[in-house]
Amino acid sequence: MRLNMRFTLKTTAIVSAAALLAGFGPPPRAAELPPGRLATTEDYFAQQAKQAVTPDVMAQLAYMNYIDFISPFYSRGCSFEAWELKHTPQRVIKYSIAFYAYGLASVALIDPKLRALAGHDLDIAVSKMKCKRVWGDWEEDGFGTDPIEKENIMYKGHLNLMYGLYQLVTGSRRYEAEHAHLTRIIHDEIAANPFAGIVCEPDNYFVQCNSVAYLSLWVYDRLHGTDYRAATRAWLDFIQKDLIDPERGAFYLSYHPESGAVKPWISAYTTAWTLAMVHGMDPAFSERYYPRFKQTFVEVYDEGRKARVRETAGTDDADGGVGLASAFTLLLAREMGDQQLFDQLLNHLEPPAKPSIVSASLRYEHPGSLLFDELLFLAKVHAGFGALLRMPPPAAKLAGK
């Protein structure tokens, strides 16, 4: 499934006094940052070395946790008031929860003092992901009443990766049986298909959704010493042969196995998302295509201070289609360690959203997409998918879990 709506309403994050963290001083002078930027690129990239998140990241964590009943990670229950306030369409909630979760895993890696909170939030994220409010579109569309039995990799790939990251971060076995069951479903379905991977809706194959599923197999192997990741080689060979334009370093929009049709348009957000996740499994694959991807899609402007991303070829429009090309490229730049492009993209993305702190609340007056704060949070803290796979175990496992 492709995201197909844009979002231009207000979202709010609450800043606590703890946001004034030590270790980032002196704070950047106003002259060093464009109006609307909240921290320097250097500080985002230094978080893991300093073992402390930046103040604006702490503000995002407060938004995710602070307000009773309303914050996204208030409780395990199937309440979705946070997403209702953001007017998030039902079909998009799964992606919102998942990208928050991937950012939380990096927070756990950055700051040992926040690892317990990150694990707590990941627990809630997994629990909410299983609510019918999240996956009910599968049944509504007439595809079945079980969202993990077959197909639907756009949902179950994220759920499986979240199961694994929760256990990596916490050491808890709370979801271990469910994780094992879903991993076998995914692996066996991949093995049974005449193509490498799993469709989202019936006959709709998207490479980015499959990147999540394959990465989830690597996390399971890390936890349990299995070798499900061996299936990855055939998948990379398949997408390299049939689903990528090698000259432009970009994946095609989608593949439809029943007819063999490949939609001929290339997609920047699809490519950025996929290359970021593949880099955690096969760095050389992503590094091969990254320079061509940038040449095809990235437009640097404002005398080199900013960059924006075209969603497809043959247009000068930035962030067309689903409106997520620049945000996913921000994540890819962070994954690739490309500080210059990260800085240029954040200069393009964040100031127009008009962040402001009022009564200790960080507000984006004009968030640029349906997943604006989720993807900026993830990109700002992202430690790298390979680094998450190598995450050391927690100092102490949760008692009785």
Q: Which residues form the catalytic set?
A: 68
Residue with tokens 């990855």: 232
Question: Contact at 8 Å (CB) between 304 and 352?
Answer: no
CA distance 358 to 28: 20
Q: Which of 98, 23, 100, 21 lies closest to 58 in space, CA to CA?
A: 21
Q: Which of 121, 138, 131, 106 lies closest to 65 in space, CA to CA?
A: 121
The alpha carbon of residue 179 and the mean position of all alpha carbons in its chain are separated, in whole angstroms, by: 20
Q: How far separated are the first and last CA of the chain, in Å rounded?
A: 35
The token pair at 384 is 């790298």
CA distance 168 to 162: 10
What phi and psi values does residue 232 have, to the nearest 5 degrees? -65, -35
Region of 119 (left: φ > 0; alpha: ψ -120 to 50; beta: rest) is: alpha
Interacting residues of 257 by C-beta distance below 8 A, sequence separation 6+:
193, 194, 195, 199, 203, 205
The token pair at 237 is 């060979």
Q: Is 360 exposed, middle or buried (0-12, 13-18, 19+ CB in 10 A)?
A: middle
Question: Contact at 8 Å (CB) between 129 and 159?
Answer: yes
